[in-house]
Structure 1
Amino acid sequence: MEKFKKEIPFLAIALIPFVYLIYIWNRLPEKVPMHWNGAGEIDRYGDKKELVAVLLMLVGINYFVFLLIPYVDPKQKLQNMGNKLNIMRMILTLFMSALALFILYSVEQKNSNPGFVFVIIGLLFAFLGNYFKTIKPNYFIGIKTPWTLENEEVWKKTHELGGKLWFVGGLLMALTFVLPNNIQFYTFMGITAVITIIPIVYSYRIFNKIKNQ
């Protein structure tokens, strides 16, 4: 019973987009916008029932993954994070629900500002980067390369660098909303590539350095 009480805040936040979808369901036409290009223009329509799948992928998967991973983590390292894991889970649930609500609102209004999506995702990257140094080696959360999973020191150093990159990169992503629509997407993808590739390469180099020592 105590565990269920602790789940109530997470479940309540995760259900908000589903409640909103029920609220607007009858106002939606059978065919609704399902995708926008980088300029914010609709380039695909689909059945409104697809929105249920969108919410399940964004909010549902996030909720159930974080619910289950502490119990299936073979090294039980996530349990050692204590309340920090719950804080991370709460923030991620809030971000995913906010993103889902924005998508539903955009579908209802047939209008989307891609800059707002980049702000949400950028702030999420910045938040995760801030928490990287507290994440213990595991198979579910963090920069999981063969080299970080092989050596705890490599994991630690990679996440120290990766955390700084993700924090700064996330803030830069959020700032792309001031750019013209036609270059927002490419700037966002460029930042994403940089903060993803550098930690992977760094983990390989630091692993070889430690191995040679």
Structure 2
Amino acid sequence: MEKLKKEIPFIIISLLPFIYLAFIWNNLPDEIPMHWNGSGEIDDWGKKIEIIFPLLLISGIGYFTFLIIPSLDPKGNLDKMGNKLHNLRYIISVFLTLLALFIVYSIQMKNSNPKMIFVIIGLLFTFLGNYFKTIKPNYFIGIRTPWTLENEEVWKKTHILGGKLWFVGGLLMALTFVLPNNVQFYTFMGITAVISIVPIVYSYLKFKKIKKPNHF
């Protein structure tokens, strides 16, 4: 019963997009916009029933991932994070729900501002980066390279660096709101590449340095 009580807030958060969708369902036309280009113009249409699947996918990632993976972690390090894992789950659930709500709102208004999607994702990167240094070595969450999983010191130092990069990179992503649509997209992708690739390379170099035998 206690475990169920802890799940109730996450269930409510995950259901919010569906509650909103149910509220506006009868007002939606049978054919709705399903995709927008980089300029915010509709370039694909579909049946309104089709919107349910992407919402299930987004909400499912937000809810079931953190519900299941702690029990699958062979070393139990995720459970050792305690409230930090709980707070991290809240952050990801809230941001994924905001993304789903924005999608439903865009369909309702037949208008989408792609800038807002980048802002939401950027802020999510920022909050995740702030939690990187607290993540214990595991096979499911964090910068999981062969070298971070092999050595705890490499894991720790890589996540300290990665956390800083994701925090700053996320803020820069959010600030791309002021750029023209096409420029914003390429800037966003460039920042994503940097904060993704640099920690991977760093973990490899740090691992090689630690494992390199000392010669006297």
Normalised TM-score (structure 2): 0.96
Residue 201 of structure 2 aligns to which amino acid in structure 1?
A: V
Q: Which residue of 2 aligns with 1:78?
A: 78
Question: Which whole-Å CA distance do the structure 2 matches of 1:189 and 1:127 have between them?
Answer: 19
Residue 144 of structure 1 aligns to which amino acid in structure 2?
A: R
Q: Which residue of 2 aligns with 1:99?
A: 99
Residue 127 of structure 2 aligns to which amino acid in structure 1?
A: F
Q: Which residue of 1 aligns with 2:66?
A: 66
Question: Which whole-Å CA distance do the structure 2 matches of 1:189 and 1:66 have between them?
Answer: 27
Q: Which residue of 2 aligns with 1:183?
A: 183
Q: Contact 1:133–1:156 (CA<8 Å) still a contact in 2?
A: yes
Question: Which whole-Å CA distance do the structure 2 matches of 1:55 and 1:159 have between them?
Answer: 31
Q: Which residue of 1 aligns with 2:6?
A: 6
Query: 1:133-169: per-residue Cα shift (whole Å, max 9, x none)?
Result: 0000011110111111111111111101000000000
Q: Which residue of 2 aligns with 1:172?
A: 172
Q: Contact 1:176–1:187 (CA<8 Å) still a contact in 2?
A: yes
Residue 137 of structure 2 aligns to which amino acid in structure 1?
A: P
Q: Which residue of 1 aligns with 2:116?
A: 116
Greater mean alpha carbon deviation, residues 161-170 or residues 46-55: 46-55
Q: Contact 1:38–1:184 (CA<8 Å) still a contact in 2?
A: no
Question: Which whole-Å CA distance do the structure 1 matches of 2:34 and 2:185 have between them?
Answer: 18
Q: Secondary structure at the match of 1:49?
A: helix
The equivalences for 1:131-150 within 5 A come to 131-150=131-150
Q: Which residue of 2 aligns with 1:160?
A: 160
The equivalences for 1:50-65 within 5 A come to 50-65=50-65
Question: Which whole-Å CA distance do the structure 1 matches of 2:35 and 2:142 have between them?
Answer: 29
Q: Which residue of 2 aligns with 1:26?
A: 26
Query: 1:15-47: per-residue Cα shift (whole Å, max 9, x none)?
Result: 110111111111112221111122111121122
Q: Contact 1:21–1:104 (CA<8 Å) still a contact in 2?
A: yes
Q: Give the root-mean-square deviation of aligned CA atoms.
A: 0.9
Query: 1:64-107: per-residue Cα shift (whole Å, max 9, x none)?
Result: 11111111111100001000101010111111111100100001
Question: Which whole-Å CA distance do the structure 1 matches of 2:67 and 2:60 have between them?
Answer: 11
Question: Which whole-Å CA distance do the structure 2 matches of 1:108 and 1:32 have between them?
Answer: 8
Q: Percent identity?
A: 71
Question: Which whole-Å CA distance do the structure 1 matches of 2:4 and 2:185 have between them?
Answer: 41
Question: Which whole-Å CA distance do the structure 2 matches of 1:191 and 1:103 have between them?
Answer: 23
Q: CA deviation at 1:112?
A: 0.6
Structure 1 gaps of 5+ residues are: none
Q: CA deviation at 1:182?
A: 2.1
Question: Which whole-Å CA distance do the structure 1 matches of 2:85 and 2:189 have between them?
Answer: 28
Question: Which whole-Å CA distance do the structure 2 matches of 1:196 and 1:37 have between them?
Answer: 25
Q: Secondary structure at the match of 2:46?
A: strand
Residue 184 of structure 2 aligns to which amino acid in structure 1?
A: Q
1:42 aligns with 2:5: no
Normalised TM-score (structure 1): 0.98
1:207 aligns with 2:207: yes
Question: Which whole-Å CA distance do the structure 2 matches of 1:211 and 1:42 have between them?
Answer: 53
Q: Secondary structure at the match of 1:43?
A: strand
